[in-house]
């Protein structure tokens, strides 16, 4: 029996290693986004500083491990066997949940996930204990620490609102002081702001980093607590004098220094305090196993009172966890994806947006515009003019514009300072704040205050923020439900279920890793193509046009074929592929502005032709969707078909396929006669469509039935004519673009 539970402990530690990897990939956004977004230093330097903070923070990890042991449930009410079921369910759920969010590139809270996983699995086991003993469900509070759970939920709502609001207000004040013309105002405010920022970060480290640390004794903590105000005042005065001197007499950019110090501090605090989210449960399982081995009692009779005792985490575990996090931080591609989401939502400039607009986002923007217009009417003209000057983005330094930074060092430092202060205050008041929630919402608040959410991007940014926030609450719900179900399976299935779940977890992790790797590779290829020189854009454009025509041809052929076979499954798959193609082409169209910047002043004609190519690509994609949708809806509604025109439509479909093959071969031709022949083929197909539609009308009048199938055919064929028109225009525009580029080279 003891070997069985030893196996569970080993599985817990293996899962802990995986959890550290996926957890760091998610939480890296908390301390990397400001430095990366502002390009405060080369990426390798930023990672090195963050890695040092993570490693030191892990070694100084504080006494938060009791959250996993007794923060959510009352361990003395569970037997050793039951508590191991709880811990195993938590770790399996945590890995799968965090990996899912990392794969789709959304930041989520490891604190919330671990808390609701503990809650879900503990409720499941408690529920079966109550049922088994014929007890009352009202006794659940005997097993679950409901006060702590409710406090955490309240903390979630408060942290979202407070972090956003405070970030917005402080950013507005700081931007009024600095404006976007930092080179002009830096000498006046640089030292003062730097002193305040570093003092705030120091306060964060004193309160959040040192409190409860295994390497800081009670006397030292008492001294820090009783002298906090004095330490902060001395720090502010000292740092302000030092930094102002550096501003006036050296070329050292203290804003970069501030951002890097803040990155180190947040990374250190993350590792020191959030480490419980990754190894707290396995360590609690290990402590439980040691108590079980020493007791000599049975696993179903030993109550886990031992978890109520204070336990110092062995230093070797902390160092090992820190090293794993450092390696993950350096190698993880998913960490970059999660960080990219926050940076995209807060960047100053325009560009391709990650999220679509929604009705709620549009409503919020409309009401905000109305409110803004109302405020403008009552604001004195001098105040408005002054505000416009302070928030004039065009005054940004040429270096920032050239480096294409997401936001400047002023906003990056505000992000770090505000997040540090809020987390420190929350910790001092013993409020369960999530570092992910706070840092993300501060970044969103500062970006709004900085004018990053302009009319061109506001709806997309708001949708993104709502999506991320919704993902947080989805995390809580999913964590509870999944851990409840997994705990149930383990509670009744024992070892076979445990082995099956481990195998399933490994399989899912491998699949999501492969999916993410493929997506990242495709994204890098597209990004590189958009940043290429104009001659390389031509090559990329050819690939895009060719692949779009091939994909359109395939989907169109399969649509008519599957419609004739009444294959709902195939049509559903075709519709899905057409939406994917449409989204890819939309991304190309959204990136047109960035692509045009690669063209030289002498290549305006090529740029114009490129815009036309992309426009026709989009029209082809739209027409394809308008052909596929009625076909799918007809079959999905179980409407009838007739076979009177089946041979005619089959022959037409074959001719259509030949036309698309000719379209691809024509892309490399420069002969005018080939284009004339191409247009003639299009006209012949159009005549065939008109003939089929006329025959369909005759059939409809003759039979006086089959109205729905007739209208579906007519709708599909009419839209096919539009598609053919745009395909021809696409090929013509592409040939014109290539010919224009060739003439320039000559």
pLDDT band at 328 (very low <50, low <70, confident <90, very high): confident
Greatest mean pLDDT range, 1-10, 29-38, 353-362, 419-428? 1-10
Q: pLDDT tens, 447-506?
A: 888 877 776 677 877 887 787 778 777 888 888 898 999 989 988 888 888 888 888 877
Backbone angles phi, psi at 530, to 5 degrees: -75, -20
pTM given for the model: 0.68
CA 114, CA 73: separation in Å to the nearest integer? 13
CA 469, CA 161: separation in Å to the nearest integer? 11
User: In this predicted structure, what is the pLDDT of residue 731?
Assistant: 85
Return the number of other C-beta atoms located less than 10 Å from residue 3's C-beta. Answer: 6
Residue closest to 252 by CA, chosen among 197, 199, 194, 202: 194
pLDDT band at 700 (very low <50, low <70, confident <90, very high): confident
Average pLDDT estimate for 694-712: 77
User: In this predicted structure, what is the pLDDT of residue 532?
Assistant: 45
Instruction: Between 410 and 99, name the one with better pLDDT.
Output: 410
pLDDT band at 63 (very low <50, low <70, confident <90, very high): very low
Least confident of 196-210, 415-429, 520-534, 645-659: 520-534
Average pLDDT estimate for 560-582: 89
- Name the average pLDDT for the chain: 78
Q: pLDDT tens, 240-278?
A: 899 888 888 887 888 888 888 888 877 776 676 666 667
Instruction: Between 399 and 297, name the one with better pLDDT.
Output: 297
Helix (H/G/I), strand (E/B), else coil: 134: coil
Q: pLDDT tens, 140-195?
A: 777 887 777 677 677 767 778 888 899 889 888 888 888 887 778 878 888 888 88
Residue closest to 200 by CA, chosen among 26, 420, 455, 494: 420
User: In this predicted structure, what is the pLDDT of residue 465?
Assistant: 79
Q: Determine the Cα angle at 119 with ends 511 and 325, to 5°.
A: 50
CA 283, CA 484: separation in Å to the nearest integer? 21
User: In this predicted structure, what is the pLDDT of residue 6?
Assistant: 84
pLDDT band at 64 (very low <50, low <70, confident <90, very high): very low
User: In this predicted structure, what is the pLDDT of residue 42?
Assistant: 85
Q: pLDDT tens, 625-676?
A: 999 999 999 888 888 777 776 777 888 888 888 888 888 888 766 566 678 8
Average pLDDT estimate for 544-570: 88
User: In this predicted structure, what is the pLDDT of residue 47?
Assistant: 81
User: In this predicted structure, what is the pLDDT of residue 575?
Assistant: 92
> Residue 598 above 60 pLDDT?
yes
Residue closest to 418 by CA, chosen among 466, 450, 465, 461: 450
Q: Which domains, ranges and CATH numbers included, belong to the chain? A: 2-522 (no CATH), 531-745 (1.20.58.220)
Q: How many residues does the chain have?
A: 746
Long-range contacts, 224-232 (Cβ 8 Å, 24+): 228/203, 231/202, 231/206, 232/199, 232/202, 232/203
Average pLDDT estimate for 421-443: 73
> Residue 59 above 60 pLDDT?
yes
- Number of helical (H) and strand (E) elements in the chain, helices listed first: 27, 0
User: In this predicted structure, what is the pLDDT of residue 530?
Assistant: 46
User: In this predicted structure, what is the pLDDT of residue 272?
Assistant: 64
Q: pLDDT tens, 15-34?
A: 778 777 776 766 666 677 78
User: In this predicted structure, what is the pLDDT of residue 719?
Assistant: 92
Q: Determine the Cα angle at 52 with ends 46 and 429, to 5°.
A: 100
User: In this predicted structure, what is the pLDDT of residue 385?
Assistant: 81
> Residue 41 above 70 pLDDT?
yes
> Residue 728 above 60 pLDDT?
yes
């Amino acid at each position: 029996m003891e070997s069985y539970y030893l196996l569970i402990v080993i599985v817990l530690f293996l899962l802990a290693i995986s959890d550290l990897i996926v957890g760091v990939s998610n939480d890296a956004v908390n301390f990397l986004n400001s430095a990366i977004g502002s390009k405060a230093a080369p990426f390798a330097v930023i990672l090195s500083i963050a890695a040092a903070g993570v490693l030191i923070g892990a070694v100084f990890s504080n006494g938060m491990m009791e959250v996993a042991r007794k923060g959510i449930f009352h361990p003395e009410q569970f037997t050793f066997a039951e508590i191991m079921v709880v811990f195993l369910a938590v770790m399996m759920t945590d890995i799968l949940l965090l990996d899912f969010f990392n794969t789709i590139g959304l930041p989520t809270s490891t604190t919330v996930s671990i808390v609701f996983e503990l809650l879900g699995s503990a409720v499941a086991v408690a529920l079966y204990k109550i049922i088994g003993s014929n007890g009352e469900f009202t006794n659940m509070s005997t097993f679950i620490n409901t006060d702590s759970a409710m406090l955490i939920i309240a903390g979630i709502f408060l942290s979202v609102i407070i972090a956003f609001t405070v970030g917005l207000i402080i950013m507005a004040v700081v931007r009024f002081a600095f404006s976007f013309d930092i080179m002009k105002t830096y000498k006046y405010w640089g030292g003062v702001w730097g002193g305040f920022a570093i003092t705030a970060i120091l306060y964060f480290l004193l309160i959040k980093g040192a409190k409860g640390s295994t390497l800081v004794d009670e006397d030292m903590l008492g001294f820090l607590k009783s002298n906090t105000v004095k330490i902060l005042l001395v720090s502010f005065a000292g740092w302000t004098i030092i930094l102002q001197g550096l501003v006036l007499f050296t070329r050292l950019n203290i804003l970069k220094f501030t951002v890097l110090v803040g990155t180190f501090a947040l990374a250190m605090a993350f590792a020191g305090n959030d480490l419980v989210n990754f190894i707290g449960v396995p360590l609690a399982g290990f402590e439980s196993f040691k108590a079980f081995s020493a007791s000599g009692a049975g696993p179903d009779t030993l109550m886990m009172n031992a978890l109520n005792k204070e336990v110092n985490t062995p230093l070797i575990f902390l160092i090992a966890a820190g090293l794993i996090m450092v390696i993950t931080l350096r190698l993880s591609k998913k960490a970059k994806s999660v960080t990219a989401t926050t940076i995209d939502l807060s960047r100053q400039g325009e560009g391709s947006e990650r999220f679509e607009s929604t009705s709620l986002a549009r409503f919020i923007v409309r009401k905000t515009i109305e409110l803004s217009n109302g405020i403008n009417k009552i604001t004195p003209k001098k105040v408005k003019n002054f505000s416009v000057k302070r928030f004039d983005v065009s005054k940004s330094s040429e270096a920032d514009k050239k480096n294409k930074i997401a936001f400047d060092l002023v906003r990056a430092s505000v992000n770090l300072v505000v997040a540090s202060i809020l987390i420190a205050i929350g910790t001092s008041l013993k409020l369960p704040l999530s570092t992910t929630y706070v840092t993300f919402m501060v970044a969103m608040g500062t970006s709004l205050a900085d004018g990053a959410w302009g009319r061109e991007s506001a709806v997309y940014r708001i949708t993104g923020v709502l999506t991320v926030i919704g993902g947080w609450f989805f995390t809580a719900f999913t964590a509870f439900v999944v851990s409840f179900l997994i705990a149930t399976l383990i509670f009744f299935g024992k070892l076979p279920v445990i082995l099956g779940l481990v195998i399933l977890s490994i399989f899912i992790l491998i699949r999501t890793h492969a999916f993410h790797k493929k997506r990242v590779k495709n994204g890098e290829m597209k990004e590189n193509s958009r940043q290429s020189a104009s001659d390389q854009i031509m090559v990329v454009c050819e690939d895009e046009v060719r692949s779009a025509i091939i994909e359109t041809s395939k989907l169109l052929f399969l649509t008519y074929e599957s419609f004739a076979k009444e294959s709902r499954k195939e049509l559903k798959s075709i519709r899905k592929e057409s939406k994917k193609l449409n989204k890819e082409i939309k991304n190309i169209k959204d990136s047109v502005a960035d692509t045009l910047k690669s063209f030289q002043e002498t290549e305006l004609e090529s740029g114009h032709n490129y815009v036309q190519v992309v426009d026709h690509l989009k029209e082809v994609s739209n027409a394809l969707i308008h052909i596929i949708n009625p076909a799918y809806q007809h079959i999905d509604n179980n409407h009838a078909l007739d076979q009177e025109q089946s041979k005619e439509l089959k022959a037409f479909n074959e001719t259509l396929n030949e036309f698309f093959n000719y379209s691809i071969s024509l892309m490399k031709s420069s002969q005018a006669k080939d284009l004339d022949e191409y247009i003639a083929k299009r006209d012949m197909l159009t005549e065939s469509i008109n003939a089929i539609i006329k025959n369909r009308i005759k059939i409809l009048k003759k039979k006086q039935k089959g109205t729905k199938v007739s209208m579906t055919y007519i709708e599909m064929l009419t839209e096919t004519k539009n598609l053919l028109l745009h395909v021809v225009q696409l090929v013509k525009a592409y040939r014109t673009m290539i010919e224009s580029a060739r003439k320039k080279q000559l």
